[in-house]
Homo-oligomer: A and B are copies of this chain.
């Protein structure tokens, strides 16, 4: 099978990016949304993406640092080639079809990418309704960060053609796609999704097993947690901890710069999942308290203009 028709369910931050990128790469894209109200709320995101793609491509004409791996396989592009890519970005914007109908979305779909709310009930209802209209050959993937595909598989009605394809925010720049099946996923469907991810301009990162947090967060969470513990227990300040990591490993960012990008609220929500936070003298509780103090002061990270550092 060759994937041509791609349905993206959900018009949130990631859903809109995935849909836009798929259209940019020449797939026929339908965005399924729950209601006309959702469609109206999603459309400005697509207009914003159009502007971002066009502005980034324009900047790539003169600034090597502007290059985004998702936009082109190589930074070595002539002005003419970039102009063609800008046309593609414009056509992508015009080509995307919006629908609130399961049937219309499903009927010709080669691949459905589900990027709706991280709520198991909503996901189950979505998959169950969609299943009524889907051609037998359609592959389904979820972009869920917090649910494992095995937790959703049964409700899809086609567990063998269901797996996870997990994107990073700003996919035109951070072009990784973690591909993860559940024990019942067919290898053929898995391989098809790996090919699709590459065609989408992503670097497919293959997991051979289900893993909560996929690959990146499985390392990032304990790393950030260790850094947070050093700060929350008074061993060292964020600037010193960041400097140590950068000098010691050559990394461009220390953990507290990364936390500012991830957002302190997200970091807090992860920490409080730890049952040890119930004991106020535990390290996780101290981490939670240190994060909450900043969150309560509105210092939630880069997006707020301040987190552990100030941004202008």
Binding site for B on A (CB under 8 A): 168, 174-176, 178, 203, 205-209, 211, 215-216, 218-223, 225-227, 229-230, 233-236, 240-241, 243-245, 247-253, 255, 258
The answer, among B175, B205, B225, B236, for a CB contact under 8 Å with A222, is B225
Q: Which residues of B contact A240 (CB under 8 A)?
A: 205-206, 215
Q: How far is the CA of A243 from the CA of B176 in the complex (A)?
A: 9
16 A-B residue pairings within 8 Å (CB atoms): A168-B248, A176-B244, A178-B244, A205-B243, A206-B236, A207-B235, A215-B236, A215-B240, A215-B241, A216-B245, A218-B230, A219-B245, A220-B249, A222-B222, A249-B258, A251-B251
The answer, among B216, B226, B227, for a CB contact under 8 Å with A248, is B216
Q: Which residues of B contact A174 (CB under 8 A)?
A: 247-248
Q: Which residues of B contact A229 (CB under 8 A)?
A: 218
Q: How far is the CA of A221 from the CA of B227 in the complex (A)?
A: 11
The answer, among B205, B207, B250, B255, for a CB contact under 8 Å with A219, is B255
Q: Tell me whether B216 and A244 are in contact (CB under 8 A).
A: yes
Q: 3 closest A-B pairs (Cβ-Cβ)? A: A223-B223, A215-B244, A251-B251
Q: Tell me whether A219 and B215 are in contact (CB under 8 A).
A: no
Q: Tell me whether A250 and B248 are in contact (CB under 8 A).
A: no
Q: How far is the CA of A249 from the CA of B216 in the complex (A)?
A: 9
- With CB as the reference atom, state the residue of chain B lying closest to A227: B219
Q: Tell me whether B208 and A234 are in contact (CB under 8 A).
A: yes
Min CB distance A116 to B, Å, is 24
Min CB distance A179 to B, Å, is 10
Min CB distance A257 to B, Å, is 10
Q: Which residues of B contact A233 (CB under 8 A)?
A: 209
Q: Tell me whether A222 and B223 are in contact (CB under 8 A).
A: yes
Min CB distance A227 to B, Å, is 6
Q: Tell me whether A236 and B207 are in contact (CB under 8 A).
A: yes
The answer, among B205, B244, B247, B250, for a CB contact under 8 Å with A236, is B205
Q: Which residues of B contact A252 (CB under 8 A)?
A: 250-251
Q: How far is the CA of A208 from the CA of B219 in the complex (A)?
A: 27
- With CB as the reference atom, state the residue of chain B lying closest to A204: B240
Q: How far is the CA of A178 from the CA of B199 in the complex (A)?
A: 47
The answer, among B209, B225, B244, for a CB contact under 8 Å with A205, is B244
- Known pairs A205-B236, A222-B225, A251-B251 / 11 extra A-B pairs, C-beta < 8 Å: A176-B244, A203-B247, A207-B236, A211-B230, A215-B230, A215-B235, A218-B235, A219-B226, A219-B227, A250-B252, A250-B253
